[in-house]
Amino acid sequence: MESILNPWPWYVSGPLIALIMALLLYFGKTFGMSSNLRTMCSAFGADKFADFFRFDWKAQKWNLTVVLGAIIGGYIAVNFLSNGTPTNLNTTTISELQNLGFKNAGTTLVPKEMYGLDALTSVEGLLILIIGGLLVGFGTRYAGGCTSGHAITGLSSLQKPSLIAVIGFFIGGLVMTNFILPIIFNP
């Protein structure tokens, strides 16, 4: 039980993520979480504005069900399958983040400094979440997939477009973390 309650090592987690992809392929579907954003847009009536949203979104209900499951899974994991062990971050990471104003790095899944009430009630804090969400929503659809569709499924099936997309993910990620975050959170 202790090994379930503790954080799982990478060599257990990685193959289990591949199992999710394998299960969905076995059920005749594919593993791609960002598609749900397009499905939800269509369900909310975006088909009146662009051809891109004119498709049979009801055929994607299975994937919305995966989303619902993921929400429930998150709830179960923190409430019943965790013992509050902090994330075992590199000490350099912790002190770097402290210098950027992030206290208690690793004791929660996301920083209070970005997701807490104080952040939500400030213009700057709200803008960070909104801009981040816009970039994720726009970028995944432009690239035709996200971490699950390109990095896991696309690379596992040895597809070149996915390799290009993943290189893009890393260019963007490296630029944000190494150059832009230090400007945004400049103490």
Partner 1 sequence: MKFLKFLIVGIIFGIILVKSEAVSWYRIYEMFRFQSFHMYGIIGTAIASGVLFLQLAKKGFIKNIHGQKIAVPKKDRGFIRYIIGGTIFGLGWALIGACPGPMYILLGTGVFSMLIVIAAALIGTFLYGILKNKLPH
Contact 111, 132 (CB under 8 A): no
The CA-based dihedral angle spanning residues 16, 72, 149, 106, taken in that order and rounded to the nearest 10 degrees: -70
Could you give the string, one character per residue 127-166, with x where binding to partner 1 holds by CB under 8 A and - elsewhere?
-xxxxxxxxxxxxxxxxxxxxx-xxxxxxxxxx-xx-xxx
Distance (Å, rounded) from C-alpha 37 to C-alpha 46? 11
Residues 5-24 that bind partner 1 (CB under 8 A): 7-24
User: Minimum distance from CB of 137 to partner 1 (Å)?
Assistant: 3
Choice from 2, 28, 84, 187 touching partner 1 (CB under 8 A): 28
Residues 53-112 that bind partner 1 (CB under 8 A): 53, 61-63, 65-78, 81-82, 87, 89-90, 92-93, 96-97, 105-106, 109-111
User: Minimum distance from CB of 128 to partner 1 (Å)?
Assistant: 7
Place of tokens 């893009």: 168
Residue closer to partner 1 by CB (options 178, 186) is 178
User: Minimum distance from CB of 57 to partner 1 (Å)?
Assistant: 12
Residue closer to partner 1 by CB (options 101, 155) is 155
Longest dimension (CA), the chain: 52
User: Minimum distance from CB of 56 to partner 1 (Å)?
Assistant: 16
Element (H, E) at 10: helix 10-26
Please, what sign has the CA dihedral across residues 90, 91, 94, 99? negative
Contact 143, 32 (CB under 8 A): no
